[in-house]
Amino acid sequence: MAELSEAMVQDLIRAEAKKALQTGEVSCVIGWTATRFEDRTKPYFAQTPEECDMLIWNRYCINGTAKFALDDRYPDKKFGIIARGCDTRAINRMIHDKQLKRENLYIIGVVCDGKENPVCRQCAHKTPLVCDVMIGEPVQDVIPESRFQEIEAFEKLSPDERYAYWAKQYDKCIHCYACRNACPACNCIECYADQYRVGWQGKAADREQNQIYGLTRAYHVGDRCIECGECERVCPMHLPIMRQTRKMLKDINDLFGPYECGLSEEETTALGEFKTADPDEFM
């Protein structure tokens, strides 16, 4: 099959979405639609076959679609998702975390060639890993060599320099929780940060609370991070959030062997398993 143009993929997406809605199998199909700006698209929920013509596909389709499936955890009908490689990893993530059921999803997989989003340059899985129908020709998965380059460079700085860098970043943070709400690994029914009367997390947006939030988020998400980069994309203050989670992934790789997550729904996570032969530093 020859390589598909953007317009051809868009037609195929619309056709598949229409088909799914016409059979009555799905309640809606989530994809992207145009905004008033040419270089921005937004998530769109097509609920009737006619509305499928609003769905578009171009290099600005950067919003993650999978997380919206959590809006209704007990749906009557299937939830249709147009999913790129990263979205399917997100789906695997949420299924493995027992937040979604595979049988409640209808996945229209689209092979993605990278979008106008810096994180796409480090994408290892452009082909959907799980789907009901696939649009496009699967491509080889390649983990980019640059995956941990940034982390390694940052580790070389002095501790004071590292602290100062993060302190400046936390001073910028406005505590809007966009990173949490966009993250497919942040799928707890109720976030610890929303239970702030309990006292784990203060509501003030100062360095102290932002630091606690940043570290807690990085650690909590770290071993389940699918590297989709949504956190960094959505941050209105442009904090380098992936630099924290990737650090966790790098350490897991170094200590416990090659690790990527969200590749299948059955896998275990690094902190949810162990080997008796793991390195030990606490003797």
Partner 1 sequence: MILAKKDIPKALEILSKEAAVYAPSIRKIEDRTTGVIQEEKIFLPFEEGTEIILDGPNTVKPPKDLLFPNVEKMYQYKAAGEDSYIREILPEDEKKILFGIRPCDMRSIESMDKVFFTKTYVDSYYAKRRDQVTIVAIGCLQPERTCFCDSMGIDPNQAPQADVMMNVAGEPEGESYVLQAQTEKGKALLDAISSLDQQEGAEPYQGTVCSLKIRKAEDLDKKLAGMFDHPIWDKVTKGCIGCGTCTFLCPTCYCFDIDNENYGNEGCKYRCWDSCMFSDYTRMAGGANPRPTKKERLRNRYMHKLSYFNERYGETLCVGCGRCIASCPSHLDISEFIEKATAADPDAVSYTDVPAGTDRKEA
Partner 2 sequence: MSIKKDNNWEPRILAFCCNWCTYTGADLAGLNRMKYPENVRVIRVPCSSKVNPQFVLRAFQKGADGVLVCGCHPGDCHYSTGNYFTRRRFMLLQRLLEYNGIDPKRFQAKWISGSEAAKFRDTVAEVSAQIKALGPNNKFVGAHYDNTVMEKEAEGGKD
CA distance 164 to 154: 12
Cβ proximity to partner 2, 138 vs 257, nearer residue: 257
Give whichever of 53 and 254 is closer to partner 2, judged by the CB atom.
Answer: 254
Q: Which is nearer to partner 2, 74 or 282 (CB)?
A: 282
> How many angstroms separate the CA atoms of 61 and 41, rounded?
6
* Cβ pair 131, 83 in contact under 8 A: yes
Q: Of the listed pieces 17-25, 33-41, 80-88, 199-207, which binds partner 2 according to CB under 8 A? A: 199-207
**CB closer to partner 2 out of 39 and 190:** 190
| 175 is a site residue for partner 1 (CB under 8 A) | yes
> What Cα–Cα distance (Å) separates residue 9 from each residue in 90, 111, 114, 225, 268?
22, 9, 14, 28, 34
| The binder of partner 2 chosen from 68, 177, 256, 259 (CB under 8 A) | 256
Q: In what order do the strands lie in the sheet with 41-46?
A: 41-46, 26-34, 78-83, 105-110, 133-135
- Residue 129 or 218: the one with the smaller Cβ distance to partner 2 is 218
Contact partners, residue 8, CB within 8 Å, separation at least 6: none
Chain centre distance of CA 39: 21
Whose tokens are 């619309």? That residue is 14
- Tell me: does residue 238 bind partner 1 (CB under 8 A): yes
Q: Is 188 in the site for partner 2 (CB under 8 A)?
A: no
Task: Measure the CA–CA gap between 117 and 64, rounded to whole angstroms.
Answer: 12
* Residues found near partner 1 in the complex (CB under 8 A): 33-37, 40-45, 48, 50-51, 54, 63, 67-68, 71, 150, 153-154, 156-157, 161, 165, 168-169, 172, 174-178, 180-182, 190, 194-196, 202-206, 233-234, 236-238, 240
* Residues found near partner 2 in the complex (CB under 8 A): 154-155, 159-166, 192, 200, 204, 206-209, 211-212, 215-216, 218-219, 222-223, 244, 247-248, 251-252, 255-256, 270-271, 274-276, 278-283
